[in-house]
Amino acid sequence: EVANIFINSVATVLAERCKLAQLTSPPTVALGTKAEILLKVFGDYKAVGNIFSAHVHISSQKLSSDCYLLLLLDAPIISILLNAIGE
């Protein structure tokens, strides 16, 4: 749940700053290697230009939870973000 709150906060700020709509869906559990999960999620997606990626690992032994967050932005989204912040 912490990861869900975190990623939704980041996505909301990015969408608002870029004047874009944000559509979310409930989180899901995916099992497999990182490569298998990425292939399942993105399939034949072809990125436009360079890709920016950010990886966050959240873990709590006390709560027995472990989460990986991966943010991927392709060139058109990066351009929108840079324009939104005036760069």
Percentage of the chain modeled with pLDDT above 90: 0
Residues 2, 67 contacting (CB under 8 angstroms): yes
Q: What are the structure tokens assigned to 74, written together?
A: 């392709």
Q: Give 28-59 pLDDT, tens digit per residue.
A: 777 888 788 888 878 877 766 778 888 788 88
Interatomic CA distance for residues 28 and 26, integer angstroms: 6
Q: At 31, which amino acid appears?
A: L
pTM score > 0.85 for this model? no
The DSSP code sequence of 21-82 is -----------S-HHHHHHHHHTT----S-EEEEEEEEEETTTTEEEEEEEEEEHHHHHHHH
